[in-house]
Structure 1
């Protein structure tokens, strides 16, 4: 179903953790000594003091990527990949772990958090990266403190909070394809004990994919806002109320695909047809319907229908913190509401062969209550978490003109979840500490699904028709045991075992006959054996971090496309990898960073369309990724000029668990450049940037429909994007 435009990436993002950590001082949350501070364990800690593989990217560094939204993280973070099928769905991949099912009802094994609030909807992620303090990316299972859907890690955005002094900023960006984007905030006191912060963002640009037979596609019409009010309660309490809204206004960003004709091999796996290869007997280089692209430009096409994307998302969060002296109480209550509509020209031709549409109405309610404290030897945390999700999802495949088929399917999925969690860190000596944590989760999911073809209902799946299948209960535990050894203040060694889980769920199938037993899938369990080091050397001029890890995956939720139906099956898998990151500050103003990541992945027992069972590589998991950044800042007039460039190499990878020939993306090198000037008083900032500097054409996703329609939906990364910005801070 989602035939699609999927931005090509499969890359273990070894990206410049180091580099990002050394961005300008204002880029990171820092303590009084200038060290980076993160909340990866739900308390403030120095980044180099945590026995976790963590990257923190600050607001100034986020600005420097040229407003590429959340997908820009992929070029900045080791082990991370980001796939966006237009803004409708965002899928993170960390160390090869992800689930590529594009059904709106699915949750991902890489969790997304905003200010410690879990965002379950994949369609609610894009657009949230404005007015941020930082973004934290945690690699490896994080289920003990963050929950059952952080199997492979998580991405968390931390927004800037209201300030006690009046401050603010405004930034205007102009770029390619008529881009005009804004971001800003106004923050300060309303009274002696109450303060507020109002933030805004917008992004508008024209379509960057030329449509030969109609309106160009790929434009943006997005805007968002956030209001936060924070008040002191008594002598040691704080109450924060946050309201946030995002809007995509009928963008032409649905189905940003490039057509390629395909055949299929003996296993039913697609391969690209040559320009004169007449696989279907229609014409040389043509798909099953006799169409082929007249040129090789992935940014031109012939779309008889203009794809669209509409979204309204809002959330309300109430956070209360009370310090009792020896313990601290934190309560986080959150409500989210999402209304999303999406449509595309799935066949990418001037003839209406088939179109695909989705509609989602979702609400989510969550509550976390925790108590934490510390003594000379112990740091502890314990809490309870509750989550309720209701999502109504409707899908349509309109293939009436040529195939005479109209498929309508979908329904309601309900999720209720409760968890108890806790973690204790014991400092046995000045050099050795032991961390033990655990979480028990109880999930109940119910599914009410129906399918109709040409207006006639032919399949119903619910608790009445399938009582043993349509209601599923999942009980599981996450746990962590780790030893940290710090022989000196500048050296940290750690080793541990960490178990994470992801709840089971239900698949979405588009065509009958449907076997009811194939709709539910079981929970997955990932056990991570990891050891690492963090070194700070030469008077903090060198930072060198690394980790080696092995994932033992039980019941990995492998997504495959069987015909045109989305199937999730539980199979064993494993991942073994190495990450290293190096940051150098040899002289004042100069920062150099480099990184290297290696992944060896295997998914076992994948049933191919032919029925043959084979082992495969995990999708979007290149064996090697190598990259680096250079930034040099020096005085220039009444301010400072900074020159910056970053480059990244990703090895070849596959976009699907099938590892079809057409799903293989060759290795690539992609780079960006930026020049900026900041006044001595830090009030004014001017910048110019070029993203994808060499205009590299590479896919970020591919959907193989070779055996079904004789083509594949290819999604390419945006072409080279120039821009400039001006900002004022006060």
Structure 2
């Protein structure tokens, strides 16, 4: 039954979704998807979209993979109000993204598969690929996307061609590359809270036909806009104030040099740097009253927080890559060498309130994660055929090496004196971990056109994944004389596994405009170690490898020159699925459940009903279910009392010497797996006598029931979250320049995006941003 929130959003976007009521879609009984809106100034036809989902350039309509594409222009429109990579959430059917650690730690979910673990060394089943380089560490996955050509979201296991940890899928970013034609583009916007975004790129030849460059930059800023109403001085020296949180400064640059010494050899050398300074996630303690999911009474722009120094967060990242391709005629040899490094820290008041304002013994929460250093090296070599004949093939190998030193600090480290409970400062209340993750793999894929209509594709990869975590420094007492880590617990843990991944697909072309495909795939995610628990003097926890068997079938159609419509149905089973719960300290604990099942569909429609109107619609439906009667998760608790309304069967168990309430999670949905998602984007152009045009564009997304934790409660979920954007402007006759007014989250919805369970704390979405924008290209 549709709730009031969804009814409200349905009314707001009713006009856009009304376009869906055509016979083709009625027969399909689904809501199509959010492809990028095409340029409404063209002749009314839908242009070809080229993707590299199979590591070669192909028409989207001819690839036997469920792929969604967001153009660079569409992404820049979405991010006009200062949003980051999380803005993709809700704009692509089957994709969801969130964070409880600010802008430096996005977590992605495709078809419901993801990882809620907030550990800096957490493994995620969604891989991020930027310019053919895998970004595996969670901090690297937050690298800003700017001067981008397009984004491809590959849904389902992609282990044959893209390597490790891809049981859920891939988000692939391709930036604009250098060329021998001098060209540039720029977009800039200014809005509420002094929100500034400037995304620019310019490049061209240095030496004709031999050397070209492109330099790109991103600048984003927002003033602090959230006030801390705390009037005292916290035990760590924290003081409140007006507008002390919520702001950020993002500064990024990338330089590319493309060498083409001969017509057969190209070498693209790329280097980038990031400097980010902002606010960690803001937690609103007690915003979720026990038994209720309503957060509307909680102010978004102010709250009281007594510790955490108003949640500072800062990171610097640098990277470089060399992408070289040699064309030998029948085959092309490609080598991609890349290095990434990062360091920074994030601190926050994790209870998100003034402890003494809540009944019972004052309970505090504060922590800091510090990435001292990170070094990631990757080397890929690939040999691919160049034939346009019936057989196409490619083989290759990948080596991955990631090493980091990570520290976790707990509350008493920051205290300047005793708190209300008598806790004293402890300058030794932190741990340092050394993590190493190495992986190698060999892979191959072949595609053969059996008949003019039927093509079979098969691929496989063998991957060895090895991880180790060493406790370099453990928590000690204030005097530094007593080590608190259990003497019987290992300080060094290593896990290793070698697994095959493979896929087989068949594509049948009924007509040049209608094709169907079916695909079966096996994916693999390596074993995982959770070392952060050492800061609570608890042993490391681990999880074994998970594997997935996925089945999907899709229909890709172009019923008219002004319409494309694609739909995919899928089902999968993840064996030994890796899950993350909490222990008595609210600390992440890894474990495996027997398996999880899922089924659903995604659909995408792009349509130009008349010359000056473009419509993109999208939708997905998803059912996920954890299956293991013997697996329990610890529930929300504080000072020995359960703080939320648990709706699963529970039992009491002794954990770390104290009784704890555990919930049976068998049959529950996966966390952050929306049951359905809808999105729409519409643009209407009004030609003027000057040759230019006025335009109005709008985009909306709506999200169904989404559980945030492993167990079911009356508090920790969202249902009917929606957001919309509006843009009104003028484009010149040559389509090179645009000036507009815009609004993001135009209705100023306050959506629940995450929770801190034991404090019933809420995390909210971005506020409404209204402003003006300019863009141009040459």
User: What TM-score, normalized to structure 2?
Assistant: 0.83
Describe the SS at the equivalent of 1:457.
Answer: coil
Q: Which residue of 2 aligns with 1:284?
A: none
Displacement, 1:658?
A: 2.4
Q: How many residues align?
A: 677
Displacement, 1:461?
A: 9.1
1:676 equivalent to 2:729? Answer yes
Describe the SS at the equivalent of 2:35.
Answer: helix
Which deviates more from structure 2 when the two are superposed, residues 81-90 or residues 379-388?
81-90
Distance 1:271 1:420 in 2: 52
Q: Structure 2 vs 1, CA of residues 676 and 261 (structure 1 numbering), >3 Å: closer, same or farther?
A: closer
Q: Which residue of 2 aligns with 1:221?
A: 249
Q: Which residue of 2 aligns with 1:443?
A: 465
Displacement, 1:348?
A: 2.1
Q: Is the 8 A contact 1:74 1:82 kept in 2?
A: yes
1:243 equivalent to 2:295? Answer no
Which deviates more from structure 2 when the two are superposed, residues 391-400 or residues 51-60?
391-400
Distance 2:557 2:439 in 1: 40
Q: Structure 2 vs 1, CA of residues 104 and 17 (structure 1 numbering), >3 Å: closer, same or farther?
A: farther
Q: Structure 2 vs 1, CA of residues 261 and 718 (structure 1 numbering), >3 Å: closer, same or farther?
A: closer
Q: Structure 2 vs 1, CA of residues 461 and 308 (structure 1 numbering), >3 Å: closer, same or farther?
A: farther
Q: Which residue of 2 aligns with 1:547?
A: 568
Q: Is the 8 A contact 1:16 1:78 kept in 2?
A: no
Q: Is the 8 A contact 1:110 1:155 kept in 2?
A: yes
Q: Which residue of 2 aligns with 1:370?
A: 382
Distance 2:568 2:432 in 1: 43
Distance 2:126 2:487 in 1: 28
Q: Which residue of 2 aligns with 1:429?
A: 451
Which deviates more from structure 2 when the two are superposed, residues 181-190 or residues 379-388?
181-190
Aligned ranges 1:503-518 → 2 under 5 Å: 503-510=526-533, 516=539
Distance 1:694 1:130 in 2: 27
Describe the SS at the equivalent of 2:75.
Answer: helix
Segments of structure 1 that go 5 or more residues without pairing to the other structure are 1-13, 264-269, 276-292, 706-710
1:196 equivalent to 2:218? Answer no
Distance 1:512 1:172 in 2: 44
Displacement, 1:274?
A: 10
Aligned equivalent of 2:438, options 392, 416, 423:
416
CA deviations on 1:14-47 (whole Å, 9 max, x unpaired) are 99985433332899xxxx9930101111110011
Displacement, 1:509?
A: 4.2
Displacement, 1:630?
A: 1.6
Distance 1:427 1:514 in 2: 59
CA deviations on 1:546-565 (whole Å, 9 max, x unpaired) are 11111111011111122322
Q: Which residue of 1 aligns with 2:302?
A: 300
Aligned ranges 1:326-475 → 2 under 5 Å: 326-350=330-354, 353-360=364-371, 361-375=373-387, 376-399=389-412, 401-403=419-421, 404=423, 407-449=429-471, 451-452=474-475, 454-455=477-478, 456-459=482-485, 466=490, 470-475=493-498
Describe the SS at the equivalent of 1:346.
Answer: coil
Distance 1:50 1:461 in 2: 55
Aligned equivalent of 1:86, options 102, 106, 128:
102
CA deviations on 1:357-388 (whole Å, 9 max, x unpaired) are 01012110000000000441111010010000
Q: Is the 8 A contact 2:90 2:677 kept in 1?
A: no
Q: Structure 2 vs 1, CA of residues 194 and 718 (structure 1 numbering), >3 Å: closer, same or farther?
A: same
Distance 2:91 2:120 in 1: 27
Displacement, 1:235?
A: 2.8
Q: Is the 8 A contact 1:79 1:95 kept in 2?
A: yes
Aligned equivalent of 1:73, options 73, 88, 94:
88
Q: Is the 8 A contact 1:36 1:46 kept in 2?
A: yes
Q: Is the 8 A contact 1:676 1:687 kept in 2?
A: yes
CA deviations on 1:216-253 (whole Å, 9 max, x unpaired) are 2110111000000001032300011000111113x2x1
Segments of structure 2 that go 5 or more residues without pairing to the other structure are 1-16, 18-29, 230-239, 357-363, 635-660
Which deviates more from structure 2 when the two are superposed, residues 78-87 or residues 206-215?
206-215
Distance 2:484 2:532 in 1: 13
Displacement, 1:511?
A: 6.4
Q: Which residue of 1 aligns with 2:672?
A: 620
Q: Is the 8 A contact 1:127 1:224 kept in 2?
A: no
Aligned equivalent of 1:97, options 102, 109, 113:
113
Q: Is the 8 A contact 1:254 1:344 kept in 2?
A: yes
Q: Which residue of 2 aligns with 1:607?
A: 632
Distance 1:659 1:619 in 2: 10
Q: Which residue of 2 aligns with 1:286?
A: none
Q: Is the 8 A contact 2:293 2:716 kept in 1?
A: no
Describe the SS at the equivalent of 2:674.
Answer: coil
CA deviations on 1:365-419 (whole Å, 9 max, x unpaired) are 0000000004411110100100000011111111452452754234011011100
Displacement, 1:262?
A: 6.5
Distance 1:50 1:179 in 2: 40
Distance 1:673 1:202 in 2: 22
Q: Structure 2 vs 1, CA of residues 457 and 658 (structure 1 numbering), >3 Å: closer, same or farther?
A: farther
Describe the SS at the equivalent of 1:459.
Answer: coil
Describe the SS at the equivalent of 1:72.
Answer: helix
Q: Which residue of 2 aligns with 1:5?
A: none
Distance 2:517 2:70 in 1: 23
Describe the SS at the equivalent of 1:40.
Answer: coil
1:174 equivalent to 2:190? Answer yes
Distance 1:344 1:247 in 2: 20
Q: Which residue of 1 aligns with 2:505?
A: 482
Distance 2:470 2:249 in 1: 34
Displacement, 1:191?
A: 0.5
Distance 1:26 1:152 in 2: 37
Distance 1:513 1:675 in 2: 53
Which deviates more from structure 2 when the two are superposed, residues 321-330 or residues 168-177?
168-177
Q: Is the 8 A contact 1:255 1:343 kept in 2?
A: no
Displacement, 1:88?
A: 2.2
Q: Which residue of 2 aligns with 1:285?
A: none
Displacement, 1:128?
A: 2.2
Displacement, 1:596?
A: 2.5
Q: Is the 8 A contact 2:408 2:535 kept in 1?
A: no
Q: Structure 2 vs 1, CA of residues 26 and 19 (structure 1 numbering), >3 Å: closer, same or farther?
A: farther
Distance 2:31 2:468 in 1: 42
Distance 1:319 1:127 in 2: 19
Displacement, 1:91?
A: 0.7
Q: Which residue of 1 aligns with 2:5?
A: none
1:56 equivalent to 2:56? Answer no
Distance 1:402 1:313 in 2: 40
